[in-house]
Amino acid sequence: MTSTQPPAVTRSGLLAVGEDQEIYWEHSGAADGVPVLYLHGGPGGRLGAGYRLHAPAGQSRLIGLSQRGAGRSTPPAGAPGPVDLRRNTTAHLVADLEVLREHLGIEAWILQGASWGSTLALAYAQAHPRRTLGVLLFAVTSTSRREVDWITEGVGVLYPEAWDIFARFAETHDGYDRHDRSPGRLRLVESYRRMVTSGDPALEDGAVRAWMTWEDEHIRLGAPGAAGTHAVPADQEVTEYARGFVRLATHYWAHDGFVADWATPWGAAPGSGLLGGMGRLAGIPGALIHGRRDVSGPALTAWELHRAWPGSELVILEDEGHGGAGMVAQWRTSLARMVEAAATSRG
């Protein structure tokens, strides 16, 4: 029987990773177990406690963290006033994970990532395959330009009423033109990125409300989503969490996840992104868990990554979307299998 109470956090702290940044981390499970790292979604999402339910507590040493600017890490990306996100890139996040791994004295670990966390897990694994015992991806993304343009603009064909409100806010306040499809056009994600970092508190908070409302709309199809509810109630002030979530999401998405040329140093074609580097994961156990009804992140990405990843397993849940009970059950099963295999190889 699966426990409904997550194992208690046994250690935690703030770790200085340079450039005046500190990341919050926490440890639970067996001190001598197989190391398992959890990477939350967003970018800018919450760490929460639910992730601690999915790893076999008696066999795994589970580590979670709040990524740069998110959660209890400092400085917070959602603080009122000007924000400098130049030190927030995927390369920075990957480097932070290496600092954390060395700080905790871990030789290699299993990576598990949900939504945006799956992009970060792939980026880390491609950069450090020898430090990677396995990779489990849930609600799979690679944050390519195709995915970003779909989730912010293309999927509007399914939710035209909600997308009209979302796009009109940018047209009114930042000059976005929904009819412009020219190569050099202003992308909607870039328009929102500019608004939420404009320095105008009213404009920033209005854009945060609009973005969060749209976020709820496109992840709601299928079973309840992994990311939860985002919309800021009209009678409540915009929170630091909501402001940070949108600032980080638009920052990373407007830059195609900072992975557009990720694979180039390893001989892949420029612009091939994470997909071009999947060959580096050959021999590393992998599981990709995705919902067929995840309209904000179509299954095409999970399928392409799986085909390019020798030996990986793809599980698509037909009746679920950006998360759901069946996907979570598969998460636990796949992760338990990875932990068991890693424990056996350790002897």
Question: What does the pLDDT average to over 76-101?
Answer: 96
Name 257's Cβ contacts closer than 8 Å, sequence gap at least 6: 90, 119, 142, 143, 144, 148, 273
Name 134's Cβ contacts closer than 8 Å, sequence gap at least 6: 110, 111, 284, 285, 286, 287, 338, 341, 342
| pLDDT number for residue 265 | 66
Question: What does the pLDDT average to over 76-88?
Answer: 94
| pLDDT number for residue 228 | 54
Judge if 252 and 279 occupy the same domain.
no
Phi, psi of 77 (to 5 degrees): -70, -15
> pLDDT band at 222, cuts 50/70/90?
low
Judge if 140 and 264 occupy the same domain.
yes
Judge if 151 and 270 occupy the same domain.
no
Percent of the chain with pLDDT over 90: 84
DSSP label of 284: S
> pLDDT band at 226, cuts 50/70/90?
very low
In a domain? residue 252: yes
CATH number for the domain that contains residue 110: 3.40.50.1820
Domain boundary among 196, 222, 257: 257
Question: How many Cα atoms sit within 13 Å of 191 on the Cβ side?
Answer: 23
Catalytic residue numbers read 115, 294, 322
Judge if 163 and 36 occupy the same domain.
no
pLDDT above 60 for 1 = no
280-318 pLDDT, tens digit each: 999 999 999 999 999 999 999 999 999 999 899 999 999
- Is the preceding omega at residue 35 within 30 degrees of 0, hence cis? no
> pLDDT band at 347, cuts 50/70/90?
low
Judge if 28 and 135 occupy the same domain.
yes
| pLDDT number for residue 2 | 56
In a domain? residue 69: yes
Domain that holds residue 251: 146-257
CB neighbourhood size of 107 (10 A) = 10
149-175 pLDDT, tens digit each: 999 999 999 999 999 999 999 999 999
| pLDDT number for residue 227 | 45
pLDDT above 80 for 264 = no
Total structural domains in the chain? 2
Domain boundary among 257, 280, 310: 257
In a domain? residue 4: no
E-state strands within 96-131? 109-114
